[in-house]
Amino acid sequence: MVTEEVRVLKRRHLIYYLEVYDYKSNELVGHLVDITPKGIKLVSKKPIETGKAFILQMMLPEGYFKHKLLKFECESQWCKNDVNPDFFVTGFAVKDVDLEAKEIILKLIKQLGFND
């Protein structure tokens, strides 16, 4: 587990939380809080095990993309209580995404990110 994190890419918060599912079980894992091409942060009702590999799929908002889903591999890095104690936040490192997935992520940031 990484205790000292050096963030190269600025996290971008989205204007609304997108649903993220486990690709294999199709169970809701959580809602996307922020994203970069290298990582994501989810908020969830349950804590998520750290150091675990996942294949996740995200429901993309209609009207922005030709695809309905974005599928990617990632690994959970950390999990802690949210500001709201009824929820948990988890950070994931996104593993080598292909060019198309990276373009979708960048478009998500551009189209749906806060201008901060």
Give the pTM.
Answer: 0.79
76 has pLDDT over 90 = yes
3-state secondary structure string across 24-88 = CCCCEEEEEEEEECCEEEEEECCCCCCCCEEEEEEECCCCCCCCCEEEEEEEEEEEEECCCCCCE
Q: What pLDDT does residue 55 have?
A: 96
Q: Give the domain CATH number at 97.
A: 2.40.10.220
Question: What is the predicted pLDDT for the residue at 31?
Answer: 92
Q: Identify whether 1 is part of a domain.
A: no
Q: Looking at the domain assignment, is residue 27 inside a domain?
A: yes
Tens digits of per-residue pLDDT, 20-39?
999 999 999 999 988 888 89
Q: Is residue 10 part of a domain?
A: no
Structural domains counted in the chain:
1
Range of the domain at 82: 17-112
Residue 5 lies in a domain: no
43 has a pLDDT exceeding 90: yes
